[in-house]
């Protein structure tokens, strides 16, 4: 238990530090690298929560596929240093305001709530195994799963059509 807690605290510190690093870094490539570190840490969180399939999928899809394309585009466009000028001057006060609201809500929920929070669902052992996830996806959540795949197919065809050069 204590070992798990210690691991969690270290990972949480890394996750928060990498998220901050991504936001504050003035270099697009370093931001992308911080984001990869963040995704990796989140994958380890899933592993601690006994969900190996989601953890590995997180690494494969986010850290392995999407971020490679991000890096590729950053390098291809030569988008190195960001200019120090503020592009959106109203963004910072709005962000601080929204963050304050979120913090107030969290404080209210943790310290001043009157009713009990709904209890966590009891989980069966092996709930995060690939077999269990697959059975859920193809039985209980069949329709949303198929709708998502059609949505992705439409997006893919759209991207191909939009980037295709017409030959005369």
Partner 1 sequence: MQLGLFLQWIIKSGILLAIMTGGFAYVTLYERKVLARIQVRIGPNRAGPLGILQPIADGIKLIFKEELIPARADKFIFILAPIITVFPALVITAVVPWGETMTLFGQQVPLGIAPDLNVGALYVMAIASISVYGITLAGWSSNNKYATLGGLRASAQMISYELALGLSFVPSIMLAKSMSLMDHVQMQAQMGMLKWWLYQPLGPAIFLIASIAEVNRAPFDMPEAEQELTAGYHTEYSGMKFALFFMAEYIKMIAVSMIAATLFFGGYLGPFVDRLPWLGPIYLFGKVIILLFGMIWLRATLPRIRYDRLMSFGWKILLPASLLNVFITAVLVVIFG
Residue 21 touching partner 1 (CB under 8 A): no
- What single string gives the DSSP state of each residue in the chain? -HHHHHHHHHHHHHHHHHHHHHHH-SBHHHHHHHHHHHHHHHHHHHHHTT-HHHHHHIIIIIIIIIHHHHHHHHHHHT--BPPSS-S-TTHHHHHHHHHHHHHHHHHHHHHS--SPPPPPPP--TTTTSHHHHHHHHHTTTHHHHHHHHHHHHHHHHHHHHHHPPPP-
Nearer to partner 1, 8 or 70 (CB): 70
What is the smallest separation between the CB atom of 30 and partner 1, expressed in angstroms? Answer: 8
Residue 56 touching partner 1 (CB under 8 A): yes
What is the smallest separation between the CB atom of 43 and partner 1, expressed in angstroms? Answer: 9
Residue 71 touching partner 1 (CB under 8 A): yes
Residues within the interface to partner 1 (CB under 8 A):
29, 33, 36, 52-53, 56-57, 59-60, 63-65, 68-69, 71-72, 75-76, 129-131
């Amino acid at each position: 238990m204590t070992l798990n807690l210690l691991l969690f605290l270290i990972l949480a510190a890394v996750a928060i530090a990498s998220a901050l690093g991504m936001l504050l870094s003035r270099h697009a490539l370093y931001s992308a690298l911080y984001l990869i570190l963040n995704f990796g840490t989140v994958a380890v969180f899933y592993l601690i929560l006994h969900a190996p399939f989601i953890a590995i999928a997180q690494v494969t899809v986010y850290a392995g596929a999407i971020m490679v394309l991000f890096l590729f585009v950053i390098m291809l466009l030569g988008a190195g240093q960001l200019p120090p000028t503020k592009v959106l001057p109203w963004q910072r006060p709005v962000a601080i305001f929204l963050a304050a609201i979120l913090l107030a809500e969290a404080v209210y929920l943790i310290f001043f709530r009157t009713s009990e929070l709904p209890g966590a669902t009891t989980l069966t052992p092996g709930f995060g195994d690939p077999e269990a996830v697959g059975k859920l996806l193809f039985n209980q959540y069949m329709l949303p799963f198929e709708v998502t795949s059609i949505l992705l197919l439409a997006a893919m065809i759209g991207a191909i059509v939009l980037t295709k050069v017409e030959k005369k």
